[in-house]
Amino acid sequence: MRLKLFHASSVAEAMQNIRAELGGDALILATKRTRNGVEVTAGVEAVAPLPAPIADPVTAPTSDRASQLVWHGLPASVRARLATGPLPFALQVGFRFGQLDFTRSAPLICVGPPGVGKTLTIVRLATRLVLAGKSPVIVSTDTCRAGANAQLQAFTKILGVKLVVGDDPTKIDEALANSTGSVLIDTAGCSPYDPVGLGGLAAIGRRSGARMALVLSAGQDVMESQDTASAFAAAGASMLIATKLDLARRIGGVLAAASVGLTMTEAGISANAADGLTPLTPHFLSERLSSRRSPGVSV
C-alpha cells in the first residue's frame, strides 16, 4: 500500500488533496487535529491504477447517506457534522472517541436514568478486569431499588470480587482507601430533570475523584437523548456508554447524546453478561448508520 501524510487547514481541504493525489479509492487510515488544522494519513493499494483527479471535494453527503441519516433520526445539527468525506472519517473528526482506561487510579462511576443497564455494564466491566487478571472492587450506592444489590451480589460472588454497598460517603472513601485495583461505582437511576439527584451524583463524583460515564440506551427519542446527555454532562459526565444496541434499529439517539461533547467508549450489543460490550468506534457506527436492520418477524 502506498501511504502519504497530508496536512491541511480543514477536513474539506484534506479530502480534496487526498482525492486529487491518490484518487477515489484512497483509504483514510488516521486523523488528528493539529495547531494549524488537521493531519491525515491516507493510503491506496499500489496495484490499483489511480483514477483521474477529482477537481471538487466532497462537501455534502450523497443522497443515500442523507436518507440513511434522516432514517436514523439524526437532527440537522448532527447530520451537518457528517457531511464531508467517508463516513468513518467524518465520524472520527466530528465526534469524540476513546477507551475506558483502567490503568488510571481514578474510579469509574456509571450514571444514567433508570433501566438503561448501569448495573449490567458494571458487571461486564468487572468481568473484563477479572479476565485480565485484575481485582476490581464494586461499590453500589443504589439502596432504593428492590433487588438491585441482590443481582450484584450474585455476580460478584461468581467473579470473586468485593462488593461494598451503601450511599454513605464514608463507604466510598473506605473502598477507595482499601482498594489496590480499579473501583467501579454503580448508582441508582436518576431522572435528568431531577436537580437534587443530579447534584448528589455530582457530589459523589467530586468526593471520589471519579471519571463519570453516562450509560444510555440506544433507540430512544433523539431529542430526549440529547437533553438527557446535556443534563448528566452538567453533573460531571464526560463519557458515554451506549447500551441495548441489539434492541434498536435506529441509533440517532446515540450520536445526539454524544454531540453534547461526551466521549464515546463502549456499546452494549447483547444480553450476555460476560462479553456483551464492544468498543464504540467510528467504523462500528458507520456500519450501523449505513444499514437498516429489518425486524426479525414480518407481520
Work out the average pLDDT over 170-190: 86
Q: Mark whether 136 and 282 lie in a shared domain.
A: yes
Whether residue 198 is contained in a domain is answered as yes
Q: pLDDT tens across 4-16, in order?
A: 888 888 777 777 8
Sign (positive/negative) of CA torsion 258, 205, 187, 277? positive
Whether residue 40 is contained in a domain is answered as yes
Work out the average pLDDT over 62-76: 89
Q: pLDDT tens across 73-113, in order?
A: 999 999 999 988 899 999 999 999 999 988 777 899 999 99
Whether residue 74 is contained in a domain is answered as no
Q: pLDDT tens across 262-272, in order?
A: 999 999 999 88
Residue 258's domain comprises: 97-289
Q: Mark whether 103 and 208 lie in a shared domain.
A: yes
CA distance 137 to 164: 8
Q: Mark whether 23 and 101 lie in a shared domain.
A: no
Whether residue 77 is contained in a domain is answered as no
Q: Mark whether 10 and 152 lie in a shared domain.
A: no
Alpha carbon 131 to its chain centroid, in Å, reads 22
Whether residue 187 is contained in a domain is answered as yes
Q: Mark whether 172 and 223 lie in a shared domain.
A: yes
Q: Mark whether 55 and 105 lie in a shared domain.
A: no
Q: Are 127 and 274 in contact (CB under 8 A)?
A: yes
Say which DSSP state 41 is in: E
Q: Band of the pLDDT at 183, cuts 50, 70, 90?
A: very high
Mean pLDDT of the residues in the chain:
86
Q: Are 169 and 123 in contact (CB under 8 A)?
A: no
State how many domains the chain has.
Answer: 2
